[in-house]
Structure 1
């Protein structure tokens, strides 16, 4: 059984979709052999309510409580490793993790991004795609490295930008694609059809 720790910064909608997919798959002939063993956040404003509802351990490691990014990263790593995950997922986690965090967990450290990388990296990918007048964008799931959305790509999908799209409508469609990429990737890692070591080789 693949053990996941998922880190969030906001509403956790991608995580919620993953939890629902994992639960629903258990009633199918091909269940996903994975479970979320803990949920972490970088802010008390993050939505950890459903962690309580589902009885999943949760933790907050707030950068404001530390004197440097490196010390925050070390504390975050310690909190993650207490749960001995096989896979750590940044799901709407809006902070760059420090190099020691990456070195300890990669390649079993994943992130989704609302663009077809290497197009539109960074925190405002949806806004940037619209501002550039692009006709299409996408969603990507990747292994985290020390760059900004530069890690090895596991999978990605194209999404057309409609003429009347604005940031919210486009982002909502991208989120649907991100959730599918995340669920499919977790399934693939759990059943051995995706080998993260091979992707980074």
Structure 2
């Protein structure tokens, strides 16, 4: 069985979309895969309660309790590895990861970013797209590398920017697409693991 660990910092809506897809599409039977745990750096992350409602193991590792990013990431690695993950999915995990963390999970670490990468890596993507006069925005599922919001692109969704859009308007429409493409990209990634092992 291929184990998936999901990292969140907030509402966990993308995590919930993945967990829902795993249940509805019978990943355990069809893909020999399951979501085994949801971990957060914030004890007040709403997504932890959502994960628990799905019957998933949850845990909290407060980054503020550590002296450095390196120390936090080392502790996070130890916590994640308890679940023997074949895939670690970042779903609104608002931490910049150290090169050591990324290297440890090389080839099995995915993220979703709310822009059409390589455009607008980093924060404030929706306002930046509007300010730049773009006609389209979107979301990207990609493999994680040490360079922020880079790595191989697994899936993208395109969303039009409408006249009068605020960043919040655009973010809401992009998020609905994120919930569609992230589970699909994870499922495709899980199938690719089987192909590479065959």
TM over 0.5: yes
Q: CA deviation at 1:191?
A: 2.4
Contact 1:89 1:109 in 2 (8 A): yes
Q: CA deviation at 1:149?
A: 0.5
Match of residue 116 from structure 1: 116
Match of residue 50 from structure 1: 50
Size of the aligned set, in residue pairs, is 195
Q: Which runs of 5 or more residues in structure 2 are unaligned?
A: none
Quick one: structure 1 residues 196 and 157, their matched pair in 2 at CA, closer, same or farther if it must change by over 3 Å?
A: farther
| Whole-Å separation in 2 of the counterparts to 1:81 and 1:167 | 37
Contact 2:113 2:141 in 1 (8 A): yes
Match of residue 147 from structure 1: 147
Query: TM-score, normalised to structure 1's length?
Result: 0.89
Quick one: structure 1 residues 171 and 52, their matched pair in 2 at CA, closer, same or farther if it must change by over 3 Å?
A: same
Contact 2:19 2:54 in 1 (8 A): no
Contact 1:25 1:32 in 2 (8 A): no
Task: Note the alpha carbon deviations across 1:153-196, whole angstroms, 9 max, x for none.
Answer: 12222221011221122111111222222111121122238979
Contact 2:16 2:51 in 1 (8 A): no
Q: CA deviation at 1:133?
A: 2.0
Match of residue 107 from structure 1: 107
Moved more, 30-39 or 156-165: 30-39
Asked if 1:183 is matched to 2:180, the reply is no
Q: CA deviation at 1:122?
A: 0.3
Contact 1:33 1:191 in 2 (8 A): no
Q: Which runs of 5 or more residues in structure 1 are unaligned?
A: none
Quick one: structure 1 residues 130 and 32, their matched pair in 2 at CA, closer, same or farther if it must change by over 3 Å?
A: farther
Q: CA deviation at 1:56?
A: 1.3
Residues 1-12 of structure 1 mapped to structure 2, 5 A cutoff: 1-12=1-12
Quick one: structure 1 residues 194 and 178, their matched pair in 2 at CA, closer, same or farther if it must change by over 3 Å?
A: farther
Quick one: structure 1 residues 84 and 194, their matched pair in 2 at CA, closer, same or farther if it must change by over 3 Å?
A: closer
